[in-house]
Chain A
Amino acid sequence: DQQVKQNSPSLSVQEGRISILNCDYTNSMFDYFLWYKKYPAEGPTFLISISSIKDKNEDGRFTVFLNKSAKHLSLHIVPSQPGDSAVYFCAAVLSGSARQLTFGSGTQLTVLP
C-alpha cells in the first residue's frame, strides 16, 4: 500500500520552460513534505520542504505547493535547466514520528537543451 505516490515515472521539458512534478499521498497524518533530487549512483539531495500549515514554499527557482484537501503536492521548477535532469522524489513525514521519510517512487525529469 503506497502512501506516497508519484504517478508519472518520467517527464521531459524544454530548457527555460516550467517543470511541474506531482505527488499524491493518502495518509492525513503526514505533516511535513520534502522534495529530493537524485543523480545515478549518488544519494538524494534535499531540495525544498513544506510544513502542512503552509500551502506554498519558495526557494529560488523551486516552489512547492501543498493542497491538503486534495492530498496533493507539486514541485515547480522555473526556468528549467539541463542540470535539473535527475530523478525527483517526494517524501512525507508522519506527525509525531522519528522523522522517518516515506518516499514516492520518483519521477525522472529530462530537460532538453
Chain B
Amino acid sequence: SQTIHQWPATLVQPVGSPLSLECTVEGTSNPNLYWYRQAAGRGLQLLFYSVGIGQISSEVPQNLSASRPQDRQFILSSKKLLLSDSGFYLCAWCGGTHLSPLHFGNGTRLTVT
C-alpha cells in the first residue's frame, strides 16, 4: 500500500533563516505531488504541484520554492523565512485516474519567530 512521509512534524525557525521540508511517497510510481499550506483559521491553499521529476508549477507567488529531485520526493524550501510563512504545511500525492483523490501527509507545523 502507498504511504506518504513528511518531516519534521514541528519546526520553529527565526525570521531570515532558510527552510527545507521534505516529503516522500512509497508504494507508487510517477505520482502527482502537491504542497499545501493552511494558515491559522483558514482553508488549504495550494502552493506547488508537480506531475514529474523536475516539473514544478507554482500557484501563488511567494517566498517559497519547491523541487522534485526524485520521482517520489518533493521538497519545499525558502532562502529567508518571513513571519507570514508560519502555518501548517501539507504534502499530498495522487496517482491513477482523474478520479483519484489526493492523500495527505500529517503535515509540518512551522512557526517563524
Contact = CB atoms under 8 A, between A and B. Distances in A.
Interface of A: 32, 34, 36, 41-46, 49, 51, 89, 91, 93, 98-106
Nearest to B88: A41
B74 interface: no
Nearest to B44: A103
Closest 3 CB pairs of A and B: A43-B104, A105-B43, A103-B44
A100 B34 contact: yes
13 contacts: A41-B88, A43-B90, A43-B92, A43-B106, A43-B107, A44-B44, A44-B90, A44-B104, A49-B99, A93-B98, A98-B51, A99-B102, A101-B92
A25 to B, nearest CB: 13
B87 interface: no
Interface string B86-113: 0010101010001111111111010000
B3 interface: no
A100 B44 contact: no
Given A32-B99, A105-B42, A98 B104 contact: no
A46 B49 contact: no
B46 interface: yes
Contacts of B104: 36, 43-45
Chain B interface extent, by class: 20 to 34
B78 interface: no
A101 B99 CA distance: 12
Contacts of B46: 100-102
A103 B102 contact: no
Nearest to B42: A105
A1 B3 CA distance: 34
A46 B102 contact: yes
B109 A41 contact: yes
Nearest to B104: A43
Contacts of A34: 101-102
Contacts of B94: 99
B98 A32 contact: yes
B42 A46 contact: no
B67 interface: no
B5 to A, nearest CB: 11
